[in-house]
Amino acid sequence: MNAPASFPHPYPLRHGQVSLVGAGPGDPDLLTLKALRRLNEADVVLYDLLVSDAVLALVNRRAEQICVGKRASRHTLPQQDINQLIVAKARQGLRVVRLKGGDPFLFGRGGEELETLAAAGIACEVIPGISAAMGAAAAAGIPLTHRDYAQGVSFVTGHRREGQSVLEWTGHTGAEETLVVYMGLGEAANIADQLQAAGRAAATPVAIIENATTAQQRVLCCELASLGACVQQHAVKPPALLIIGEVVRLQARLQATLAQALAG
């Protein structure tokens, strides 16, 4: 019998190099092995507000931790300053981890940071993370696609650049499409109105998932027409996202099965 295949030791993070790391949706057990290694190797970690305390607890104690937090309408540093801080730390010869909630390339501005590093001639890698949408859907028991309910899924953000208030919703009105809205709490009522005006049915089911994959997770379900009122009535706070579509009808039945597994 042949010996089991062996895998070469992964390349360590070098001094003066940057790693854009996806921290996932909150549960530290959902980190990739490579992400965990980078947290152990880092000299400095620049993290967002959406990175959970449980994930930050895995950063090695020698590393400097700097909050450069970003949430809708809440910024510790402007993006341009974050970009330059990453460059400055790398040029000091430090091993830099830029730790971002979810996945760096899905509404995480990882592309902008990678562009800055490329222009500065600084070596960088990207370590993907489980996105907030994937984590929230799985933890809530909502399949984003399903042969009987949804043949496609779209990811959009409810938070846009300053001066931009309208998203082209006509491309997201199909009854057989799941729509996931990031950073949409503050505009929930407006989003619901615009979707209905574009043709989405008022009775379309919606799930609001708060603190996905953590012990504080909360799932609220309503219809599109009452979305704004539901967010306000239940005082939903970020991090939270919206899942809109017929797949949400499966949540109550499938969540019970997930709960049985957690109960052992």
In a 13 Å sphere around the CA of 112, the CA atoms on its Cβ side amount to 11
Is 48 among the residues known to form the active site? yes
Of the candidates 92, 105, 48, the one whose C-alpha atom is nearest the C-alpha of residue 71 is 48
Of these residues, 29, 34, 43, 70, which one is catalytic?
Answer: 70
Of the candidates 45, 53, 52, 31, the one whose C-alpha atom is nearest the C-alpha of residue 130 is 31
- Quick check: helix, strand or coil at residue 135? helix
> Cα separation of 176 and 131, whole Å?
22
Backbone Cα Rg of the chain: 20
Of these residues, 48, 89, 100, 103, which one is catalytic?
Answer: 48
Is 70 among the residues known to form the active site? yes
> Cα separation of 256 and 192, whole Å?
28
> Cα separation of 59 and 55, whole Å?
7
Q: Looking at the annotation, which residues are catalytic?
A: 48, 70
